[in-house]
Structure 1
Amino acid sequence: MSQDYIFVRAFVPFVASLVVKAWHKSDDSSGDVEVILSGLAALNDEIDWFKKQASKWRFNLVQTLSHWGYRFLENLMSPEVDYTVAMTAFWAIEAVYQESFAHCLEEGSKTPPELVEVCQRWGNDGFGNYCSALRCIADRRLEKAPVDEVSKAEVTFLSVLEYEVEFWNMSRGIPGY
């Protein structure tokens, strides 16, 4: 869980930069800013929750991670990265997280009882609906995007998947991560 906490802390500036990109690139009727802003507000609750869990489970929140995709997030914050590309990454990151934990709630998943609360936190339908809203924004942007921007979004999407696999392996304590 400490890796997740550290990721959330690094994720906050990325999501904040996405609010700015949405403000510049979307119109008020789309609701993009409001959807992204609701996610940013939820990250504060996540940080508080992790702090409570650290006390409960006695794990260290101060450790640092060697390399996981923090530079990737920093690169996505660059003004040169288009809103569509960054939005695609945001949706992918959130959706992988939600779907992974939702899977742990499925019948027959053999989730240890002590982890059910964690799975319910991120695998719930409310978070799933939020991820669907993010996907709608990304899809709408991609439909209107020029071919080169769509290509960049595809490459970014694949990078997110690679980083997610690496992150989950690191979280599971697989050697080399």
Structure 2
Amino acid sequence: MAGVEAPCALIVMGVSGSGKSTVAEALGQRLGWRFEDGDSFHPASNVEKMRAGHPLTDEDRWPWLNAIADEIARVCDKGEHVIIACSALKHTYRDVLLRGRDDVRFVFLRGTRELIAARLAQRKGHFMPPELLTSQFTTLEPPEAGEHVVTVSIDESVEAIVDGVVRQLKLSGAKR
């Protein structure tokens, strides 16, 4: 990506418990970009469904994904930058988020089921119950190189993960 302008949006993706919000917020602080948690774009019906322990269907997800895509378009069209934490588990979901844009990049937080399950067991106050982790991994279609993605392992510190993302995207703000 040398010589390429910085993307206008980064979508930090992965299964629930992979650290999307934590990493996205830290990236935003490092780069001076606004952070948005994709969960805030869910309609109330989706939140209640997940809180009750029911996985979302594709039909549940379309309005949520379109709301995030609308925000990305709004920010990018204004020449601003945003980092959004969003699971983006399937190729079709990522296509909706991109809407054909070439100025958006995905950051895939890859981790083992065991590590993420241990993290979920420690998490308090989130509407996504740990029991839904299996459905998250079942739904996950890992991104491919052609999807404008950088992949980082979540078994490092948040600072090391952010360093790796910034370095792979060749953005200023990388710490040595």
TM normalised by structure 1 equals 0.31
Which of 1 and 2 has higher RCO (CA within 8 Å, sep 6+)?
A: 2
Task: Pick the structure with more strand per residue.
Answer: 2
What's the TM-score once normalised by structure 2's chain length?
Answer: 0.31
Larger Rg: 1
